Amino acid sequence: MATFLLQMAGQPGSGKSTLARLIAHSTDAIALDKDVIKTAALDAGAAEPLAGPLAYEVFFALCDSLLGQGVSVVLDSPSFWESILVKGSTMAAERIVPYFFIECVCNDQDERASRLRDRVRMRSNPGVEIIDQPWETIAPSGAYLRIDTTQPIERCLALALEYLGYAAN
């Protein structure tokens, strides 16, 4: 299949990182996790007000470089700001690659809290304390895929691969 750009989105604990890694593995894409970059910036001594914007600049610079090399990219970020959507869709258009958007949704607050508690937490990851915050995904105005991640992960992956035009393995 041709090179593509997939933007993952969703609240913390919604399953987007888990699904992003599975999609990348299944499609030979590279998953870029904004939290890995932000944690590295924090570990290097960047203050919180700088670490977030720095992480997104590196995130999109790496994405652009990989797309330029013909590598498909899965962007793992919550997409809570319009600029995330604009940068991703603009980059895909400039690189002439299909742009996909998947929002992971987990409306079971107990399940989300469990996921947040049980994951290996990076410095930039929020914990259970944010469970009640009203996060809102900024999604494309056109068609995109919303996946209820309370389903078995195999079903979530199959839905994602079908959306991307891949046959299920």
Tell me: the pLDDT tens digits for 110-137? 777 776 767 676 555 555 555 566 678 8
pLDDT of residue 53: 92
Q: Which two tokens stand for residue 37?
A: 């970059």
Instruction: Report the side by side order of strands in the sheet with 99-105.
Output: 30-33, 73-76, 5-9, 99-105, 145-148
Tens digits of per-residue pLDDT, 63-104? 999 999 999 999 999 888 899 999 999 999 999 999 999 999
Q: In whole numbers, what is the pLDDT of the chain averaged over residues?
A: 89
Is the pLDDT at 39 greater than 70? The verdict is yes
d(CA 104, CA 112): 11
pLDDT of residue 11: 85
pLDDT of residue 122: 59
CB 8 within 8 A of CB 16: yes
Domain boundaries, the chain: 5-164
Q: Which CATH architecture has domain 5-164?
A: 3-Layer(aba) Sandwich (3.40)
Handedness of CA 120, 58, 146, 162 (dihedral sign): negative
Q: Which of the four pLDDT bands, split at 50, 70 and 90, describes residue 161?
A: very high
> Hey, is 126 helix, strand or coil?
coil
pLDDT of residue 105: 92
In the block, which residue shows the tokens 């919604």?
14
The share of the chain scoring above pLDDT 90, in percent, equals: 67
